[in-house]
Chains A and B, each alone.
Chain A
């Protein structure tokens, strides 16, 4: 019998208690159930052979109550391959009450979801520690960075020490083994070739540098689990024992003094230690993105408290504090500017290379750098709530998840170790009973070695091939292939202001075939802008703008504000009208410098008796383009037409053109009428438009595209587009700087720049390319290496792979996978490259492209 204390949420009275108790007691396998309303817990005594915790939880949930889940993030050190990952996942998921477990090898992390009360974090940690791994609860922020750095340094130091022992001694052993070859007898003293001397040199290599493999495999075996350490231990152990027997008891029949494979045992250890050392060096670099982000966090902040400026730790800043930032300083937390002006470099968060102007009312993001002026801001988000903290959490979570392709690789690798031992047994039996007698030739050699195998007997020969097969088959490259590329890819995304919420988001983004854009706020700015100024004969554009802006100066209407902004942007001085009158549904009437100004629609002109027929064609043409055209009249004479419309954002046409060039279908979806929608789509370069679609029907349109077999991304601002974002294969939510707490969407674009959609797809495709290359390489390595190691070439060539050469290949396979992944760090999305190239023009004011 077992006892579980399951938390239950949603119970309000004694009736609820009775209901839950009754349902639990009626569940087969439950011998007793007591529910406490105050503590919100159900204590259940149950027979684990008849009922599981999951079934108990299901029973409670079916009654309409919630069972909250807990989550624990752990750091697991000592895992070396995908088999270790599978072991940890198996051990933890086997615990009653554990809902889900995801282990990441490169991140050395485990995320466990469980029902609190049924299993404790201590029990979970015990299960992992029992397998022989170091386990601790994952620290956050800088503490995690320090601990991780320290552990990494320790591992590098440990493997470096092992290298210092293994390599010099192994090279001496090799020199001794081949002292009779070529010109070596002239230079190498005779005692170096003495087998006892070689035995004395090999022993510390195996038992000091190689001890880690024996310890890890023993710990695993005790729990009934196998990993690649076992492959090494059996390989090194077998070579060492045979060599020792042949040295100390040459008459024992293992091939005698001519078959002392000391260099096999020593070099095998040396190569594996080299692989471990290189892995320790490179593995940390793959997770550099997080480290870079953590390093951005400033340690101190200058705040004004009790009327004076004081420097405090950034962690002590509370919302509402007024923070002072000087030029060159980092902004410690998120907030809103209340005094002063400056330009802020936000590239570390948004990827935007040009500093952003900040004035009172603007938001600032923690960890960005103040460039020019001093300003004060009010802290709004601190600690775990800042944009940076949330970005770090998102990236960490993404790196802890598994892509579907990785689950398959882990499954294969997890079963690989047992398979390899079966294969080693088959190879041994084949060469022992048949192969040796049928194919053995006295001129047998190791590949790339002058070492003769003439004196090796049937047992030594079969054992050699069996050991070599064990060593070469290690699936470490297979285990590292996907997670290392995913870590690098999600990190690369974060560097460019693109947050992938999981490895599956990266995989889905890479496979996209169609991109659906919301119009308002995504393709367009979401607010009207001045687009056209068409003066009547005898008037100039500037004159028209100046008059219209003066008339609208006091207007609070969005169209009026757009005209004033447009005039200011065009460099026209905006003065105030002496009189102003809004004419509802028509426009405005104002008096400026003694002149009467009318600005509004046709009805206003007709009401005031202004003849405007000559301007009518321009008005109609503008309205055809989906714009709002307004007529301007001065002292009863029509002077021109001014048009206002929601304009497309900068760089949208480039982004759309690029997406089309990448072979993606681009579609715009909007609730607007077809005429306006098509006008915007034309400017953006989009041919396919879904107009008049209500917000609630956008998801349906997504599903229709999916039904046609397309993998669809929906790009929207994440508020009214939430259902469509959720329905799409990939929902891309565009944010504006700090607003990254969006729940909907697999991908978050921190900037509202559509070029990042292109970058996201390019990064995802580059990541998946790396995954495919890595998996392809691992597959080729194993499918070529294993048959050759098993002696496939031997009958025709008389050559076999030595265990040390097998170890070298194995080490190189995982190192090459990691190095290939590191190449992803050099990847620059195409639109980013274009942004970086015309740097010289960045500082110049842009001409007003909106104005014709």
Chain B
């Protein structure tokens, strides 16, 4: 991909969405009956933290590769 900024956005958003989705699946897999708000709220929180964690890593990785 030519535009590193766009590539970065796609990568870290993708990873974060995947983490949130995985979290959502886990809430069903554990067998505990979580309220819907806890499932969605938790997924959103996991998404936010994943974005914060992956953003700097992905951006610097993609920039380095681009250079």
Contact = CB atoms under 8 A, between A and B. Distances in A.
Contacts of B52: 221, 226, 230, 234, 421
Contacts of B34: 458-459
A425 interface: yes
A221 B59 CA distance: 10
Contacts of A252: 37
Interface string A445-477: 000000000000111001100100000000000
Contacts of A338: none
Contact of A459 (B8, B42, B55): B42
B35 A457 contact: yes
B58 to A, nearest CB: 7
A459 B50 contact: no
B67 A418 contact: no
B49 interface: yes
Given A418-B56, A433-B30, A459-B42, A425 B37 contact: no
Interface in A381-421: 418, 421
B35 A253 contact: yes
Contacts of A49: 67
| Of listed B32, B52, B63, residue having the most chain A CB within 10 A | B52
A224 B59 contact: yes
Contacts of B23: 429
B55 to A, nearest CB: 5
A224 B55 contact: yes
A221 B55 contact: yes
B36 interface: yes
Contacts of B49: 234, 421, 424-425, 428, 466
Interface size class of A (residues with CB under 8 A): 20 to 34
A327 B41 CA distance: 76
By secondary structure, the A interface counts as helix
A458 B59 contact: no
B41 A459 contact: yes
Given A224-B55, A226-B52, A418-B57, A432 B37 contact: no
B41 A463 contact: yes
Nearest to A217: B52
B35 A226 contact: no
Contacts of A458: 34-35, 38
A719 interface: no
Choose among B45, B50, B63 the residue with the greatest number of A CB atoms under 10 Å from its CB: B45
Interface in B21-61: 23, 26, 30, 32, 34-38, 41-42, 45-46, 48-50, 52-53, 55-60
Interface in A200-240: 221, 223-226, 230, 234, 238
Contacts of A253: 35-38
B18 to A, nearest CB: 14
B56 A226 contact: yes
Contacts of A94: 63
Nearest to A252: B37
Contacts of B67: 48-49
A428 B42 contact: yes
Contacts of B41: 254, 459, 463
Given A230-B52, A238-B45, A422-B53, A224 B60 contact: yes
A90 B56 CA distance: 12
B15 to A, nearest CB: 13
B59 A432 contact: no
Nearest to B65: A49
A458 B48 CA distance: 18
A557 interface: no
A459 B37 CA distance: 8
Contacts of A462: 42
Interface string A237-259: 01000000000000011100000
Contacts of A254: 37, 41
Contacts of B57: 418
A432 B35 CA distance: 12
Given A253-B37, A425-B50, A463 B56 contact: no
Contact of B53 (A225, A425, A428): A425
Nearest to A254: B37
A428 B56 contact: no
A689 to B, nearest CB: 58
Nearest to A220: B56
Contacts of B45: 238, 428, 463, 466
B11 to A, nearest CB: 11
Nearest to A226: B56
A48 B66 CA distance: 10
Given A90-B60, A252-B37, A425-B50, 20 more contacts: A221-B52, A223-B59, A224-B56, A225-B56, A226-B52, A230-B52, A238-B45, A253-B37, A254-B37, A254-B41, A418-B53, A421-B53, A425-B49, A425-B53, A428-B45, A432-B38, A459-B35, A459-B42, A462-B42, A463-B45
Interface of B: 8, 23, 26, 30, 32, 34-38, 41-42, 45-46, 48-50, 52-53, 55-60, 63, 67
17 contacts: A48-B67, A94-B63, A221-B55, A226-B55, A421-B49, A422-B53, A424-B49, A425-B49, A428-B42, A432-B38, A433-B26, A433-B30, A458-B34, A459-B34, A459-B38, A459-B41, A459-B42
The 4 closest A-B pairs by CB, nearest first: A224-B59, A253-B37, A459-B38, A425-B49
